Amino acid sequence: MSVGADGIRPCSFAFGADQFNQLVQVDDLKRSMKILQTFFNWYYVSVGILIMLAVTIMVYIQNEKGWVVGFGIPIVLMLFSSTMFFLGSRLYIKMKAKSSLFTGFAQVIVATWKNRHLPILANATNGI
């Protein structure tokens, strides 16, 4: 569950913020910043409250109804939310990628391979 949540949360921040890019004119930077700030504030508040409620309710359900029901409810809710997400996908603002993910990944691998023999200082603090 935590692996799935860690994979979704960072993407949902960027995806949600992208939905507001087309709504605000470029010249109205102050209004744009206010809208994004409001989005992120509500996002964090809702995620925090919902996580607290979900954990509390799921522990209660698992104690009272058993593990099968306790795991079945999140599966049904995840299927429902995934279906709703995909049904609305034609309405979303989709940002075009500026560069290839694979090109960036390949550049990191090549740079790592080229620098593999660089000495590591024993007492290096890395500026900390």
Tell me the pLDDT tens digit for each residue of 7-21.
Answer: 667 778 778 888 876
Structural domain contains residue 119: no
Q: How far apart are CA 92 and CA 57, in angstroms?
A: 32
For residue 128, being part of any structural domain is answered with: no
Residue 16 in domain:
yes
Is the pLDDT at 3 greater than 60? The verdict is no
- The reply to whether 97 falls in a domain is yes
Asked if the structure places residue 78 within a domain, the reply is: yes
Looking at residue 60, its pLDDT comes to: 94
Reported confidence tier of residue 66, pLDDT bands at 50, 70, 90: very high
Q: Is residue 36 part of a domain?
A: yes
Give domain status of residue 127, yes or no.
no
CB atoms within 10 A of CB 2: 6
Whether the per-residue pLDDT at 63 is higher than 90: the answer is yes
pLDDT tens-digit series, residues 84-126: 989 988 888 877 878 888 998 999 999 999 998 888 776 656 6
Residues spanned by the domain of 58: 2-114
Query: How far apart (Å, rounded) are the C-alpha atoms in residues 36 and 43?
Result: 10
Q: Is residue 125 part of a domain?
A: no
Q: pTM, whole model, 2 decimals?
A: 0.60
pLDDT attached to residue 61: 93
Split into its structural domains, the chain has a count of 1
